[in-house]
């Protein structure tokens, strides 16, 4: 780390929301360009800066600031210039000159300790003194907060969040209980709070620390897809992580349960611990699903068989018995689940169902969990499909989702059809069900054999296995793609059989490669040369997607993206770049949003729907259109429809997407999918991971790797066990009713 000192000569750019600046300071008659978060910067200010020297490809050498500290000027000339800059409300050049003439080098001491003396200056009364004092105190407190927390490795952005939340009480509140940061401020983890606490001398067995640590452990566990955590496992991990005795952990669990901060529940002789949100989500889904399944719906005066025959004739198709059962069930039942693999006619069934309902004057809403899935649904049906978030009219409050459509303001429709339901986690399902009024039909469509949702829960599988609603499982391959090896091999893999490889003039190929570097080189060559030559309509950036099981290693997402960026979007004098942590972004890069962000604004540039909105979600993919270094923003176009401007504070939510994990590909479809096949952790390298990966392809699948690893994945039908009590809750109530 380097350190420089100097006075601010000019502010080139400043973002008032996040404090990011580009400025020039003078150090020993040398002008230096600095960049970083300095929210209180003004011209004429003396700064001590700690950071590192970097070389920008366009703007040359710059000093990237990590920590900044203000040195107030101590000469009358410096004090006057500082105050004349307008840094303190109520003081301009004229007043600054008068203050320095009267108080000289004691001016700052007067402002801080004896502000009433300003009345000695002609034209300053009580009202103006109050304005000056409020402004001076606000700045002083913000600077104190910055200086206090930066000593503990807290970033400037995090300091701003703390000050925004607690204002002048920031330091006092955090000193009393540093762990409150993990509860009150988004993005604050237990480890950061614990570091502050340990430096402040807070004991290991502090109740605040243990309580916060327990919540941290549960949240980490739920981040793996669970809605709850086994009690004994939680106690064991808490002892290891927190380094305290078992009795302290159990005492804290009892206290937090008594206070209503967690919920402990027994199921089949074992106890489970819930955080309150997931507990109430499970209760809410259980109640609403059972209510809908038991509700009496208005019977439709429809000759169902006749309507199905008409649809078959108009579309020159013939439904299989299971497909007819699904259509009839949707028309007769109030709630139905339709599940099946690729080619089993799910989309055609949706078309038939919606067409019949609309023919008889019923309003049908269609939705899917992600933007890409909703777009596919729209393209397949010719009707508007929204993301579930858009359907529920999502807003934002304290960086959390807030939906307009709820029990008090339900969705105004007769039928809701939801596709790609395997991706719906417990939180989203809870919010969707809350907005469905009694009498509205709900049709849930999805492939239960795909990977479960990224978020907590195993909702689709739990609902199917609970036997609480009508379920139709589609087995017959329906569409023309019955001749497709992608479809046939997907079903083979799902049945535990090896796929048929390298059939001439087909769409499913295997290229042998044992070593990771050989597989990597083969994949790069495929995307850069062979596949675009094989089909000249395929754009190597837009139409070909690598799906890999893992993030780390030679064939992991991180390394693949680094290599592919060099080949597919190489460095060029005409392409602007931006380094962020260990990642390099370049204009033209394919990128992905990796977490839900409920505050990012977007503007529509194509497609139909609202002209603007908020919310970019985990898995959304796009391309970098522009990088503005001076304003420190990156512009991304998602799905060729929505434009989003990213400030630097949000760049940790973006990553390169030439290669993505199979988990992140859920709900998406790509013309060409390339999958590296290699040996990895048994709990990860399993059948439904491979099945999910190849079913993302529309026109071609190429697997590059070893036959041994393919066979291992197909034979391995084990996966991470997800802890959820949804199925148990539903069955308990149904058994009680029976």
Give the residue ranges of the annotated binding site: 343-347
Q: Is 472 within 8 Å of 338 (Cβ atoms)?
A: yes
Q: Binding site for ATP: what residues are annotated?
A: 343-347
Q: What are phi and psi of 12, to 5 degrees?
A: -75, -40
Count how many Cα atoms sit within 13 Å of the Cα of residue 138 in the half-sphere of its side chain: 13
Three-state SS string across 467-481, please? CCCEEEEECCCCCHH
Q: Is 517 within 8 Å of 364 (Cβ atoms)?
A: no
- Which runs of E-coded beta strand occur in 484-629? 508-512, 544-548, 577-580, 583-586, 590-593, 597-604, 612-616, 621-628
With residue 505 as reference, give the H or E element that holds it: none
Q: What are phi and psi of 190, to 5 degrees?
A: -60, -40
Q: Which two tokens stand for residue 308?
A: 């199905």
What is d(CA 424, CA 422) in angstroms, rounded to the nearest whole number?
6
Give whole-number Cα distances, 265 to 62, 257, 275, 276, in Å: 57, 10, 11, 12
What is d(CA 322, CA 199) in angstroms, rounded to the nearest whole number?
65
Sequence-distant (≥ 6) Cβ neighbours of residue 231 within 8 angstroms: 253, 264, 270, 271, 272, 273
Place of tokens 């004994």: 232
Q: What is the DSSP letter of 409?
A: S
DSSP states along 269-285: TEEEEEEHHHHHHHHHH
What is d(CA 431, CA 192) in angstroms, rounded to the nearest whole number?
31
Give whole-number Cα distances, 281 to 10, 334, 439, 598, 725, in Å: 53, 22, 22, 19, 11
> Nearest CA to 10 among 68, 71, 85, 74?
85
With residue 20 as reference, give the H or E element that holds it: strand 20-27
Give whole-number Cα distances, 277 to 231, 355, 441, in Å: 18, 38, 27
Q: Bridge partners of 445?
A: 338
């Amino acid at each position: 780390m380097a350190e420089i000192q100097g006075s601010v000569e000019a502010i080139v750019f400043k973002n008032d929301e996040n404090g990011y600046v580009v400025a020039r300071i003078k150090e020993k008659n040398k002008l230096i360009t600095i960049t970083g978060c300095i929210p209180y910067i003004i011209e004429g200010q003396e700064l001590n800066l700690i950071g590192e020297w970097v070389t920008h490809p366009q703007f040359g050498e710059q000093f990237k600031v990590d920590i900044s500290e203000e040195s107030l000027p101590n000469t009358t000339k410096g004090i006057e210039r500082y105050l004349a800059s307008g840094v303190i409300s109520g003081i301009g050049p004229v007043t600054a000159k008068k203050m320095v003439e009267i108080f000289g080098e004691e001016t700052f001491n007067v402002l801080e300790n004896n502000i009433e003396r300003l009345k000695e200056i002609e034209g300053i009364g009580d009202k103006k003194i109050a304005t000056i004092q409020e402004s001076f105190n606000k700045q002083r407190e913000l600077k104190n907060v910055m200086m206090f927390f930066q000593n503990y490795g807290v970033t400037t952005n995090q300091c701003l969040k703390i000050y925004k939340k607690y204002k002048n009480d920031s330091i006092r509140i955090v000193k009393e209980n540093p762990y409150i940061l993990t509860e009150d401020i988004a993005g604050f983890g237990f480890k950061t709070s614990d570091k502050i606490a340990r430096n402040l001398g807070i004991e290991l067995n502090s109740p605040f620390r243990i309580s916060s640590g327990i919540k941290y452990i549960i949240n980490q566990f739920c981040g793996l897809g669970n809605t709850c955590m086994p009690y004994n496992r939680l106690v064991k991990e808490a002892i290891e992580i927190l380094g305290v005795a078992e009795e302290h952990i159990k005492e804290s669990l009892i206290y937090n349960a008594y206070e209503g901060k967690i919920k402990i529940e027994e199921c089949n002789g074992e106890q489970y611990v819930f955080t309150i949100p997931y507990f109430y989500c499970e209760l809410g889904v259980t109640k609403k699903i059972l209510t809908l399944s038991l509700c009496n719906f208005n019977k439709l005066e429809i000759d169902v068989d006749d309507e199905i025959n008409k649809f078959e004739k108009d579309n020159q198709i013939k439904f299989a018995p299971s497909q007819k059962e699904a259509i009839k069930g949707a028309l007769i039942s109030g709630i139905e689940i339709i599940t099946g693999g690729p080619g089993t006619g799910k989309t055609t069934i949706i078309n038939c169902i919606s067409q019949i309902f609309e023919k008889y004057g019923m309003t049908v809403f269609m939705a899917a969990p992600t933007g890409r899935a909703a777009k596919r649904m729209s393209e397949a049906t010719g009707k508007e499909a929204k993301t579930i978030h858009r359907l529920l009219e999502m807003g934002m409050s304290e960086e959390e989702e807030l939906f307009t459509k709820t029990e008090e303001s339900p969705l105004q429709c007769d039928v809701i059809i939801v596709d790609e339901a395997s991706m719906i986690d417990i939180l989203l399902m809870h919010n969707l069900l809350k907005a469905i009024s009694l009498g509205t039909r709900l049709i849930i469509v999805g492939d239960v054999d795909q990977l479960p949702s990224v978020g907590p829960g195993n909702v689709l599988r739990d609902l199917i296995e609970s036997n609480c609603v009508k379920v139709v499982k589609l087995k017959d391959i329906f569409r023309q793609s019955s001749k497709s090896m992608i479809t046939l091999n997907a079903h083979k893999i799902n049945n535990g059989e090896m796929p048929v490889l390298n059939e001439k003039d087909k769409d499913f190929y295997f290229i042998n490669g044992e070593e990771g570097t050989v597989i990597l080189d083969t994949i790069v060559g495929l995307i850069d040369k062979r596949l675009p030559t094989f089909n000249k309509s395929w754009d190597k950036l837009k139409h070909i997607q690598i799906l890999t099981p893992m993030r780390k290693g030679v064939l992991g997402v991180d390394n693949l993206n680094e290599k592919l960026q060099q080949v597919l979007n190489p460095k060029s004098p005409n392409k602007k770049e931006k380094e962020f942590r260990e990642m390099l972004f370049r204009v033209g890069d394919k990128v992905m949003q990796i977490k839900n962000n409920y505050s990012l604004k977007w503007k529509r540039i194509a497609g139909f729907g609202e002209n603007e909105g908020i919310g970019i979600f985990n898995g959304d993919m796009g391309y970098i259109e522009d990088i503005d270094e001076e304003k420190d923003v990156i512009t991304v176009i998602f799905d060729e429809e929505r434009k989003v401007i990213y400030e630097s504070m949000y760049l940790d939510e973006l990553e390169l997407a030439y290669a993505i994990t199979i988990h992140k590909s859920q709900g998406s479809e790509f013309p060409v999918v390339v999958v590296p096949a290699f040996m990895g952790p048994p709990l990860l390298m399993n059948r439904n991971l491979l099945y999910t990966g190849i079913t993302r392809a529309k026109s071609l699948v190429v697997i590059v790797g070893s036959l041994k690893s393919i066979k291992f994945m197909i034979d391995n039908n084990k996966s991470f066990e997800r802890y959820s009590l949804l199925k148990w809750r539903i069955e308990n109530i149904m058994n009680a009713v029976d």
